[in-house]
Copies of this chain bind each other. A is one copy, B any other.
Amino acid sequence: MRWRLLAQAANRQLLWQQQHQQQQQRCCRRLLMTTGAQQQQQQQEQHDEHNDNSNNLKAAKYGMATFGGIAAGVLLFKKLDNQQQQPKIESQLTPSPAGLDDEAAARLWHSTVRQDLPTYSLDEVQKHNAPEQGIWITYGLGVYDVTEFAPNHPGGDKILMAAGSAIDSFWAIYQQHNTLEVLELLEGFRIGNLHKDAVAANVEEELGSPWAQEPKRNALLKPASERPFNAEPPLALLGEHFYTPNELFYVRNHLPVPVMQAEQYELELDVEAGAAAGQPTRTLTLAELKALPKHSVTAAIMCGGNRRSEMTRVKPVKGLSWGPGAVGNAKWSGARLCDVLQAMGVQPNEDLHVLFEGADLDPTSHPYGASIPLSKALDPRGDVVLAYEMNEEPLNRDHGYPIRVIVPGSVGARNVKWLTRIIVADHESDSHWQQNDYKGFSPSTDWDTVDFKKAQAIQAMPVTSAICTPLPNERVKPDSEGFITVRGYAWSGGGRRIERVDLTSDGGKSWHVAQLEQETVPDGRHYGWSLWTARVPLSAEQRKQEGLEIWAKAVDSAYNVQPEAFEHIWNLRGVLANAYHKVPVKLS
């Protein structure tokens, strides 16, 4: 039976490969079918043996978790530790529970120790991270050698992103792997078990440190700093999801992540100015917030420093070196801030502001803080929500559990996480992040001359875009009609819809308009981003070149357009880095 299934899987894999050919970037054309067949034979033998074993329910419980594979692995090891009180990993293989079909059983394999195979440390796995050294990957407890398979991977060379490390995070997102065929194919490449220390080491914590209770993060996030944790996802993955998967969403923490208990959560509300001033402080529990009318809004959140790493090439700036991945797009759901404020009697007043405080504290116990104009907070088209859900799941700890204020169209810094206090006042937040950060200056303003009082705090963000694929210096091959396909995102603040994205491969001599994927919501409250795809034709002359540079520029509904280059928008904090995205590629 296994042989038949493997043959089917191989056939389906070829079919899938054909269907997904457009997604392949550097797919090796030398399909090693002979080698593949030999390998399948070996796999079958291994599987015959493996199939004699089956799985216990405890392993199933964790192994079937689709998110956070590494974390699940850790939990599994902890469970084992607790039960057995001994360091040595033992087989948990037990007879297959009645009623577990082939596919359900297959989902347990990577959570299962194979006694027939050796155990590898993470160090050993990490050495096999390139075709020359062999490509090993881990999934749950399994170690797999996919060197021969990699060139045939239907998803192209994305598989190399996981070389020498875990694929769990990828598979959590790419659910097409979650089939019997793929699981069987993978188990065919299994060469061993991952040593539990390799995983357990990741969860060692410095007790007592403010960082002791940081949440577990997805391994795909590339940290710009570890403490506080700031990280962005790989750009190629970011551009593939209209709704950024929560675990891939960039993380921008200014301080340690606070530990929040839903049961004890209270949001404090104070009105210090305006017609409704003077009333006693009110509080809202999480349950009370959830009892208010639920409002959902699709909104991209972007760090003010997104793409700073490009600006800093002109002249160094201070700040985390973000690539173009410090942005994500999600559906946020919660209570509308305007409903909460109106219930408190707050009236429109152009002179007032709404201040937000988070539960994250600096070393002097001051909370993270920011503010927005009351006019934005009260505007029903402003769509400001006290969100408890992100893409229809509860917020995770890194994104503000249990409540984050979402200020659509505004810079990320105003979307205060772990929200604990809202104040209506006649002044902006006096926090560092409102007063002395997240502001733009002239290119000739330096740290000797800067006066932060002279610039306004960034609220709505300017129009921007980025090319997600191809990646810089990637080798691309024009298709049979001489086109290359370019994909990316575009966004503008203030609810301005993206009107157009133009691409050029010849320095602007010719421009090609991208197809947009965007929500059909009205302009002015179009807070989500747009993904785009463009087929850019290359001339015969261009095809003879070794490489070229692709430029993307977006235009928003106010027909604002990105500036051409960073030179004249440079600013000492490296914010607002929205120049054309220019990506050099090599041609095959």
> A residues engaging B (CB < 8 A)?
348, 350-351, 373, 375-376, 379-381, 440, 442-445, 455-456, 458-463, 492-494, 496, 499-500, 502, 508, 510-513, 521-525, 553, 555, 557-565, 567-569, 576
- Please state if B564 and A499 are interface contacts (CB–CB under 8 Å): no
Report the 7 A-B pairs with minimum CB-CB distance, sorted nearest first: A460-B558, A560-B560, A350-B522, A462-B560, A444-B511, A462-B559, A442-B511
**Would you give the shortest CB distance from A301 to chain B, in whole angstroms?**
16
In the bound complex, what is the Cα–Cα distance between A523 and B445 (angstroms)?
24
- Please state if B375 and A522 are interface contacts (CB–CB under 8 Å): yes
A443 neighbours in B (Cβ, 8 Å): 502, 508, 511
Given contact pairs A463-B560, A513-B442, A557-B460, A455 touches B500 in the complex (Cβ within 8 A): yes
In the bound complex, what is the Cα–Cα distance between A63 and B553 (angstroms)?
58
A524 neighbours in B (Cβ, 8 Å): 373, 375-376
The prevalent SS among residues of A at the interface is loop
In the bound complex, what is the Cα–Cα distance between A508 and B444 (angstroms)?
9
- Please state if A456 and B557 are interface contacts (CB–CB under 8 Å): yes
A513 neighbours in B (Cβ, 8 Å): 442, 445
- Please state if B455 and A499 are interface contacts (CB–CB under 8 Å): yes
In the bound complex, what is the Cα–Cα distance between A108 and B460 (angstroms)?
57
A525 neighbours in B (Cβ, 8 Å): 350
In the bound complex, what is the Cα–Cα distance between A271 and B330 (angstroms)?
37
14 contacts between A and B (CB under 8 A): A351-B522, A375-B381, A440-B555, A440-B559, A442-B512, A443-B508, A444-B512, A455-B499, A458-B559, A494-B496, A511-B568, A561-B569, A562-B563, A564-B568
- Please state if A558 and B493 are interface contacts (CB–CB under 8 Å): yes
- Taking A350-B521, A350-B522, A559-B576 as known contacts, 15 extra A-B pairs with beta carbons closer than 8 A to each other, sorted by chain A number, are A373-B523, A375-B381, A440-B500, A444-B512, A456-B523, A459-B558, A460-B557, A461-B558, A462-B558, A508-B567, A508-B568, A558-B560, A560-B560, A561-B569, A563-B563
**Would you give the shortest CB distance from A455 to chain B, in whole angstroms?**
7
A351 neighbours in B (Cβ, 8 Å): 522
Residue of B nearest to A510 (CB): B444
In the bound complex, what is the Cα–Cα distance between A56 and B569 (angstroms)?
64
Residue of B nearest to A382 (CB): B524
In the bound complex, what is the Cα–Cα distance between A510 and B522 (angstroms)?
41
**Would you give the shortest CB distance from A245 to chain B, in whole angstroms?**
28
**Would you give the shortest CB distance from A384 to chain B, in whole angstroms?**
14
Given contact pairs A373-B522, A524-B375, A564 touches B564 in the complex (Cβ within 8 A): yes
Residue of B nearest to A411 (CB): B559
Residue of B nearest to A522 (CB): B350
A462 neighbours in B (Cβ, 8 Å): 558-561
- Please state if B463 and A502 are interface contacts (CB–CB under 8 Å): no
In the bound complex, what is the Cα–Cα distance between A568 and B503 (angstroms)?
11
A563 neighbours in B (Cβ, 8 Å): 561-564
In the bound complex, what is the Cα–Cα distance between A562 and B522 (angstroms)?
25
Given contact pairs A442-B513, A564-B565, A568-B564, A557 touches B459 in the complex (Cβ within 8 A): yes
- Please state if B442 and A499 are interface contacts (CB–CB under 8 Å): no
In the bound complex, what is the Cα–Cα distance between A493 and B350 (angstroms)?
19
Residue of B nearest to A512 (CB): B444
A559 neighbours in B (Cβ, 8 Å): 440, 458, 460-462, 576
**Would you give the shortest CB distance from A68 to chain B, in whole angstroms?**
37
In the bound complex, what is the Cα–Cα distance between A440 and B499 (angstroms)?
9
**Would you give the shortest CB distance from A303 to chain B, in whole angstroms?**
14
A493 neighbours in B (Cβ, 8 Å): 558
**Would you give the shortest CB distance from A302 to chain B, in whole angstroms?**
12
A565 neighbours in B (Cβ, 8 Å): 564
| Most chain B CB inside 10 Å of its own CB: which residue of A455, A500, A558 | A558
In the bound complex, what is the Cα–Cα distance between A381 and B524 (angstroms)?
13
A496 neighbours in B (Cβ, 8 Å): 460, 494
- Please state if A502 and B558 are interface contacts (CB–CB under 8 Å): no
- Please state if B442 and A494 are interface contacts (CB–CB under 8 Å): no
A511 neighbours in B (Cβ, 8 Å): 442-444, 568
| Most chain B CB inside 10 Å of its own CB: which residue of A373, A521, A522 | A522
Residue of B nearest to A379 (CB): B381
A561 neighbours in B (Cβ, 8 Å): 462, 563, 568-569
In the bound complex, what is the Cα–Cα distance between A499 and B564 (angstroms)?
20
**Would you give the shortest CB distance from A374 to chain B, in whole angstroms?**
10
**Would you give the shortest CB distance from A143 to chain B, in whole angstroms?**
49
In the bound complex, what is the Cα–Cα distance between A555 and B440 (angstroms)?
9
| Most chain B CB inside 10 Å of its own CB: which residue of A493, A524, A565, A576 | A524
A557 neighbours in B (Cβ, 8 Å): 456, 459-460
